[in-house]
Amino acid sequence: MSRPLSRRNFLRRFVMSNGEIASANKGNVMVCIFLRGGADTLNMLAPYADDRYYKARPTLAIPKPKSTQTPDGCLLDLDGFYGLHPKLAPLHPIFLENRLAFVQAVGSDNTSGSHFDAQDQMEHGEAYLKPMGGGWLGRHLHSGDHRDQTRSPLSAVAIGSVIPESLRGAPSASAIDALDDIKLKGSEETCCALSKSLQCMYGAEIGILNQPGQSTLKLLDRMHNLGTKPYNPSGGAEYPRTSFGKGLKEIARLVKSEVGLEVACVDLGGWDTHFVQGSLTGLHADNLDYLAKGMAAFDKDLGNFRDRVTTLVMTEFGRRIYENGSLGTDHGRGFAMMLIGNRIKGGQVHGRYPGLESTQTDVLGPGGMSVRIDYRSILAEVLTGVLGNRNIDKVFPGFEPQPLGLISSRITT
Amino acid sequence: MKVARRRILQASGIIAGALPLVGCEGVISNVADGLENPIPDETLVSSNKQIDQDFHLLSRATFGPRPGDLAYLKETGKAAWLKEQLHPESIDDRVGNLRSRRFETLELEAGDCCEFKREVLRRDLCRHALLKAVYSKRQLFEVMVSFWSDHLNINIEKGDCMYYKAAGDRLVIRKHALGKFQDLIRASATSPAMLVYLDGDQNKKEKPEDIPNENYARELLELHTMGVHGGYTQHDVFEVARCLTGWRVHDKFQRGGVFFEPKWHDDGEKKVLGHVISAHGGQSDIDKVVELACRHPATAQHIATKLVRHFVADKPPSKLVTSVAKTFSHTDGDIKECLIALFNSKEFDDYRGSKIKRPFQFIASALRATAADTHAHDPLIDYLTKMGQAPFQYPTPDGYPDRGEAWVATLLWRWNFALALIGNDVPSVKVSIEKLARSTGALKGETADPNKLMAHFLGRLPNENEKRALNIYVAQKSGKQQSQNLSQKLSQTTLAKARTDSGLVSVMLASPAFQRC
């Protein structure tokens, strides 16, 4: 860390030491939503103008748009070619405001067809069978502009009880359900004595308990000073009462309380729809409903903070083009990534449509939409264009990102 | 341990006398304590600086030592103790059975569980699992039950799995936990819970254009047997799925009953892992597939890796994996033999205190070490849920992770559990720290020696830093800043009070060393 201080860094430190809010606190936040299980892009962003879509999915396909106004039992037209599943209607206005973009035919080179292998690879930001150590967000936090600053214990937060692989190796990461839960429960003096004693033990720990122990103690301290006020979402935002909805609400709360949040991760599971996944309604449609209502509420709640928050929605792979014998879909390949934010060039579907050419019994790898864009290109573009990371080679060593023009010039840093 | 006839009579006397007076659970606690004193008059604790070798075995092969366990193992000797644990039927488990037997849903046929509400079934399954882990004397068996429950994970929240899991727990997991691997996989393959969980019951070739549902086929190869890089191809997955078409679960009459539907079976020729499975095999296809997968060398390697990761180290030493895999292959997947090879290895002894306890094990080991009295009601189970390890509720088929990294974000809840448990603030759980302190010699008359209690929890004496940490707590609680000559500056009574403060025991259970095993 003997890197000479640039003038900007010097100024930033100067500002910090004078008790101002550190620039990291004023910085941008990236929210990563991971749809676990392989979400079915073809029934979210349906290529209704391609007849093969309806042939491959006789029972699952969503009917063509009837009018652009009401999503009544049919797709919502986006651009004359793609239509949005009606359960994603809450996100349509954001698309129309050019703040929501899709990138089509994204994926990794993973051909294992395994959820776990494909998720791990994607969260690690690796190429297939080339393990790298740590997660892509972990490496970003180590290599970004603010890497030398003392980080807030709330710089990287995952909703739930597990730190996701993408945050592996982050300088500090916390898994939380709700901010209100972050406290020791006992008499003031016992808790105080306990913390001091634990500081002594976890501080001396060598191995994987040291950092989480110290982060947890710092977090307790921070929350103790912050106090807990009840949180009321702005703009009349109503989050769904699911753990996903509650998670997004906590993230909005963290953003607005300016506690140094840089990246937040939240999962939505249940996308492994091999069996009777449904069409306009059913299993898959319910998931879309949770997703859309949660994200729309989050967007509304952010209000003036929208300039700072960029949300990515990804999954480990798409599903097959054709439906299986039990009215579901098996594991496929390419999918569409979703991006939301004032800094995103939205209102369009980026990436060329790959077609639905895949053969019926694909024996070389799971059949699905082909992958045209390596997922890392998108992550890299967002890290650079939105979070100002100039060291992408440290995040994805040996990978040459392909720029896609996803960043809007509406806001300048 | 033999129970004298008089003790049993005494115990039944307690039942007869106490039933009308206290709740049923109080009676069970009394009877169980009558059968065997949960805290012996004297508890042997380690006096080594390094983790005691026998304590280490207890930390890994059981859900953590109870007071008295260390002395028993030392008396019996490792070989005889292991032999006993590997033959659970030889162990008198009256206490364990008494504490965990009040769940009629655990004894029912798959279909009969449908009569019960889902909440009841979920609660019974969770309570049963935790009570067995805490009180059963057949500890290694219970540890293996938990291991296979993750290996063949079923999320009870999916579909009818809630109704079928109890039967699966009994007839798949418990029946084969220490048996032959292939029998375990074969039983799992046609258990109603697995057929529902991984859509096997929807995998059909009814019409010529039907495409098989690959869900179970893939996980059978990837997770249950060969491992993701075990050498099978995507075509193998497809062919295995064809072999497995036609197995169904009755969902109306005889609900939960499994049957083979020839009309749904793809009866053509298949080629799996290089072997031809000839046409018209019907329901014998599944036996061939299970055999091919279980006998594949990649399976020996995969299962050995998982066992070594579970019992030895997150990064499994490859020499030991190879040797356990060899045992697996030579004995045709004899689980007992694999465990003997594993526990008798040098590597096992070398990796002391290096694994992170998963939340379930953390809670079970704390309850065991403190000889807590509990019937595992919701407030206790809620801690597991908060820490992300509620039994049988992991959403995806890979089961709860077995690497420490996945669980280190749960420290705050562990600390809060330590505070609540020792403060007797978890409803339905009771501990008697004073009794434990006297039994371990940590409390003699008015003199307190917290190091002895710490040694009981850690299997070794606290190191200098841990002693300092305990002193910091004592100093803070007695209202004085810590100083070099702590004992001189504080009055004896304040100090004694702080030293016997039960909160000090919370510090021990919240310490990094107690998170490890």
Whether the Cβ atoms of residue B304 and residue B338 lie closer than 8 Å to each other: yes
In-domain check, residue A318: yes
Q: Measured between beta carbons, which residues in chain B are less than 8 angstroms from residue A117? A: 228
Q: What is the pLDDT of residue A314?
A: 98
- Asked whether the beta carbons of residue A112 and residue B228 sit closer than 8 angstroms, the reply is yes
Count CA within 13 A, CB hemisphere, residue B325: 22
Total domains, chain A: 1
In-domain check, residue A201: no
Residue A332 distance to chain B (closest CA, Å): 12
In-domain check, residue A339: yes
Kindly tell me if the per-residue pLDDT of A360 is higher than 70: no
What is the span of the domain harbouring residue A175? 22-180+238-395
> Of B406, B423, B512, which is closest to A162 when you measure between CB atoms?
B406
Q: Where is average pLDDT lowest: A247-261, B184-198, B324-338? A: A247-261
In-domain check, residue A205: no
In-domain check, residue A228: no
In-domain check, residue A84: yes
pLDDT band for position A361 (cuts 50, 70, 90): very low
- Asked whether the beta carbons of residue B511 and residue A173 sit closer than 8 angstroms, the reply is no
pLDDT band for position B454 (cuts 50, 70, 90): very high
> Of A115, A330, A363, which is closest to B214 when you measure between CB atoms?
A330
* Beta strands A156-159; A174-176: pairing state: parallel
Based on the number of CB atoms within 10 Å of its own CB, is A350 exposed (0-12), middle (13-18) or buried (19 or more)? buried
- Asked whether the beta carbons of residue A163 and residue B415 sit closer than 8 angstroms, the reply is no
In-domain check, residue A147: yes
- For A:209-228, CB contacts with B below 8 A are 209-210, 212-213, 216, 219-220
Query: What is the ipTM for the molecules in this complex?
Result: 0.90
Q: What is the mean pLDDT of residues A179-193?
A: 91
- For A:363-402, CB contacts with B below 8 A are 363-366
Number of Cβ within 10 Å of residue B4's Cβ equals: 8
What type of residue sits at position B139? Q
Angle at A371 between CA A370 and CA A376, to 5 degrees: 170
**For testing the chain A interface, which of B358, B396, B412 should be mutated: the one with the most A CBs within 10 Å?**
B412
Q: Measured between beta carbons, which residues in chain B are less than 8 angstroms from residue A185? A: 416, 419-420, 425
Q: What is the pLDDT of residue A24?
A: 36
Residue B470 distance to chain A (closest CA, Å): 6
Q: Where is average pLDDT lowest: A7-21, A41-55, A294-308? A: A7-21
Q: What is the mean pLDDT of residues A311-329?
A: 94
Q: Share the mean pLDDT of chain B.
A: 92
- For A:230-259, CB contacts with B below 8 A are none
pLDDT single digits (tens) A103-137: 999 999 998 899 999 999 999 999 998 888 789 99
- CATH code assigned at A278: 3.40.720
Q: Measured between beta carbons, which residues in chain B are less than 8 angstroms from residue A213? A: 411, 512
pLDDT band for position A178 (cuts 50, 70, 90): confident
pLDDT single digits (tens) B404-432: 988 988 899 999 999 999 999 999 899 99
pLDDT band for position A70 (cuts 50, 70, 90): low
Q: What is the pLDDT of residue A258?
A: 86
Q: What is the mean pLDDT of residues A383-397?
A: 92
* Beta strands B373-374; B429-430: pairing state: antiparallel
Residue-level length of chain B: 517
Residue B282 distance to chain A (closest CA, Å): 19
In-domain check, residue A215: no
- Asked whether the beta carbons of residue A112 and residue B210 sit closer than 8 angstroms, the reply is no
**For testing the chain A interface, which of B210, B211, B384 should be mutated: the one with the most A CBs within 10 Å?**
B211
| Packing angle of the helix pair B503-510, A188-204 (nearest 10 deg) | 30
Q: What is the mean pLDDT of residues A27-31?
A: 92
Q: What is the mean pLDDT of residues B451-471?
A: 97
Q: Measured between beta carbons, which residues in chain B are less than 8 angstroms from residue A186? A: 419, 423, 503, 506
Cα B347 to Cα A353, B144, B259, B316, B328, distances in angstroms: 54, 20, 45, 10, 18
Question: What gap in Å lies between CA B294 and CA B181, rounded to an integer?
Answer: 8
Identify the CA nearest to B211 among candidates A223, A329, A317, A411: A329
Collapsing DSSP states into helix, strand and coil, what is residue B96? helix
pLDDT, greater one: A260 or B336: B336
Question: What gap in Å lies between CA B481 and CA A114, rounded to an integer?
Answer: 56
Tell me phi and psi for residue A3, to 5 degrees. -60, 135
Which helix or strand (DSSP H or E) is residue B251 part of?
Answer: none
Taking CA atoms, what residue in B is nearest to A178? B386
Kindly tell me if the per-residue pLDDT of B479 is higher than 90: no
| Packing angle of the helix pair B411-422, B503-510 (nearest 10 deg) | 150
pLDDT band for position A261 (cuts 50, 70, 90): very high
β-bridge mates for residue B356, sequence order: B516
Question: What gap in Å lies between CA A360 and CA A15, rounded to an integer?
Answer: 62
Kindly tell me if the per-residue pLDDT of A166 is higher than 60: yes
Question: What gap in Å lies between CA A71 and CA B383, rounded to an integer?
Answer: 43
Kindly tell me if the per-residue pLDDT of A14 is higher than 50: no
Taking CA atoms, what residue in B is nearest to A198? B511
Whether the Cβ atoms of residue B201 and residue B256 lie closer than 8 Å to each other: no
How many pairs of residues across A and B have Cβ atoms under 8 Å apart? 183
| Interchain contact A206–B (C-beta under 8 A) | no
DSSP 8-state code for residue A265: E
Q: Measured between beta carbons, which residues in chain B are less than 8 angstroms from residue A190? A: 419, 477, 503, 506
Q: What is the pLDDT of residue B502?
A: 84
Whether the Cβ atoms of residue B493 and residue A210 lie closer than 8 Å to each other: no
Cα B271 to Cα A288, B216, B237, B266, B368, distances in angstroms: 39, 17, 10, 13, 51
Place of tokens 């700072």: A308
Q: Percent of chain B beyond pLDDT 70?
A: 92
- Asked whether the beta carbons of residue A37 and residue B356 sit closer than 8 angstroms, the reply is no
pLDDT single digits (tens) B162-206: 999 999 999 999 999 999 999 999 999 999 999 999 999 999 999
